[in-house]
A and B are shown apart, each in its own frame.
Chain A
Amino acid sequence: MAETTTHVAEPTRRDFLYIATGAAAAIGGATLVWPFVQSLAPDAATVAAGAPVEVDLAPIAEGQIVKVFWRGKLIFIRHRTPEEIKAAEDVNVASLRDPQPDSARVKDGKAQWLVVYGNCTHLGCVPLGQQGEYHGWFCPCHGSVFDTSGRVRGGPAPINLPIPPYAFASDTKVIIGQEATA
């Protein structure tokens, strides 16, 4: 390579052009990453398939847990017995890992219906219903225990089973994926 003989202390116009060109290339390259990363996100068809779903509650007997899917995610709809509701309400909320009263996890006047996501908040396994110390759910994968309000009571799960957005269209029909106000 030829020796350059320019030992100029002052920045020249050429230095500016070098830096400007380099900066444009760096910003352009970084910008091009964006569409590739964004292409990994859920696509339009997947988003469209995530529209709210209606579930008829009439056939669900007391004490029964029904599994439905919304956005590919499993949801438990549990028709709770009076004993299960009482067990969920008679808990010292402050003693819970993720403190939440039962009343905050059901709709007003519909305490018999518990609607929760059906994947363990630890690593996503499906907990088994009516099992475990509190007869709520027990996760067979890593031993998380949930009560009849879907709240975590033991094991590695960090939080309660989350409540999906849902609203009662009538006494026997819920729309999962729709906020109560809508």
Chain B
Amino acid sequence: MSQHSTTYVPKSAFGQWFESRLPIAGLIHSSFIAFPVPRNLTYFWTFGAILAFMLVAQIVTGVFLAMYYTPNAGMAFQSVEHIMRDVQYGWLIRYLHANGASMFFVAVYIHIFRNFYYGSYKAPREVLYILGVIIFLLMMATAFMGYVLPWGQMSFWGATVITNLFSAIPLVGETIVSYLWGGYSVGNPTLNRFFSLHYLLPFMIAGVVALHIWALHVPGQNNPTGIPIKSGKDAVPFTPYATIKDIFAVVVFLIFFAYWVFYMPNYLGHADNYIPANPAVTPAHIVPEWYFLPFYAILRAIPDKLGGVIAMGAAIVIWCFMPWLDTSKVRSTAYRPLYKQFFWVFVGVCLVLGWLGSRPAEGWYVIASQICTVYYFAHFLIVLPVLGFVERPLPLPNSILESVMGVQKGGAGMPAGANAEPQSKG
């Protein structure tokens, strides 16, 4: 599918002059205009565009916040209040940025579970998928460090708890932690370096996103049937079909986003973070942001410090092995009756883990966390490998076209544009 690009010819003389020196217009044409998109994509495939939009939105709002924010332990809290009270529209930019982080994770979780459901991680998209896991890890690091910057109670104690995770490493743990802190505890040097890295990491994410999109354009997009594009009739050109659909999805998502920003801007935060950091008092109940809760529950489920840290890390690293742990040849869960049930159980377990992460670590919450943690890993290590052997998948359609139009109807009543970019998949 990489070979569709050669047809672009600029119309103007300047365009031809420029294209022979820097063929960027041809790259854009082949990647975002002529690029063949499966004709059966649902709105679950618009979250990539939504995520790209959110990354840009976070960078733009963040750059403006950085013009007023002071990364100093004595002044950070005041400078954030200054943004909220004195800077014109500072409240809006900060609420967009803070809630934007949550919206970013809403979109990325939908994107990830869409990938799990339709088997997008399977060959030939393993590298594309692993790049996505790397982006997710960078997002987590960025979001965590961003939450530390206002230097409220939850910032300070969240930073203390998370940096102390590294002290679980045998022998060198304590040294690593003091190098993370730049001192003997979380303090001003920690805040300074977190600000520096919080500004850097989004640009690293942008770089990996470019690789992610590049890797996507080699095999092309997966689709709800999981079967590849076999002829031009299975595809439509990216522009206008995907472009307009993505823009519409972004607009709908922005309405959802705006609801949080304008009606409940602090709902996803913690009241404790409006108390300046105090190293002598721990908030009654330290909770991370909602998007970390399932992993936090796994951390607390293991009654051993190093074991808990390893389990939490493994909960994400194990995603990288999914293309090989899943033994089924069928990509889309729509044709996997047994796996479909396990998939929804897994979604439920993740949601329950998230809820348990928000509860105090006591009584039956701990036991429930342990049961869910065991199931979480069993899903990857037992369910995925075994189901591929015991499950009898439903018959797959012969083509994407057939799945949309039904058998024996090929071509009749199709919009002319659907055939605009004839392809043959080799």
Contact = CB atoms under 8 A, between A and B. Distances in A.
Nearest to B184: A71
A142 B282 CA distance: 12
A74 interface: yes
Given A123-B161, A157-B305, A71 B285 contact: no
Contacts of B423: none
Contact of A41 (B178, B279, B280, B306): B178
A28 interface: no
Interface residues of B, number: 36
A160 to B, nearest CB: 13
Contacts of B67: none
B41 interface: no
Interface size class of A (residues with CB under 8 A): 20 to 34
B182 to A, nearest CB: 6
Contacts of B184: 42, 46, 50, 71-73
Interface string A107-121: 000000000000101
Given A41-B179, A42-B184, A142-B300, A156 B285 contact: no
Residue from B186, B279, B300, B308 with most neighbouring chain A CB atoms (10 Å): B279
A71 B185 CA distance: 7
A40 B302 CA distance: 31
B165 A67 contact: no
B308 A143 contact: no
A129 to B, nearest CB: 12
Contacts of B388: none
A167 B320 CA distance: 52
Given A40-B182, A143-B361, A158-B304, A72 B165 contact: no
Contacts of A123: 160-161, 164-165, 305
B183 A156 contact: no
Interface in B290-340: 300, 302-306, 308
A119 to B, nearest CB: 8
B385 to A, nearest CB: 31
B304 A40 contact: no
B161 A74 contact: no
Contacts of A124: 160-161, 163-164
A165 interface: no
B187 A72 contact: yes
Nearest to A154: B303
A127 to B, nearest CB: 8
A100 B282 CA distance: 27
A46 B185 CA distance: 10
A24 interface: no
A69 interface: yes
Interface string A129-150: 0000000000011110000000
Given A43-B182, A123-B165, A124-B164, A140 B282 contact: yes
Interface string A37-54: 100111100100010000
Interface string B168-183: 0000000000111111
Contact of B282 (A41, A121, A125): A125
Nearest to A140: B284
A119 B286 CA distance: 14
Interface string A50-62: 1000000000000
Contacts of B284: 140
B281 interface: yes
B17 to A, nearest CB: 28
A72 B286 contact: no
A121 B160 CA distance: 12
Contacts of B189: 42-43, 46
A162 to B, nearest CB: 11
Given A43-B189, A156-B303, 7 more contacts: A40-B179, A74-B279, A123-B165, A125-B286, A140-B360, A143-B360, A156-B361
Task: Please provide the 7 A-B residue pairs with the shortest distance between their CB atoms, ordered closest to farther.
Answer: A72-B185, A71-B184, A126-B282, A123-B161, A124-B164, A124-B160, A125-B282
Interface of A: 37, 40-43, 46, 50, 67, 69, 71-74, 119, 121-126, 140-143, 155-158
Interface of B: 157, 160-161, 163-165, 178-187, 189, 193, 279-282, 284-286, 300, 302-306, 308, 360-362, 366
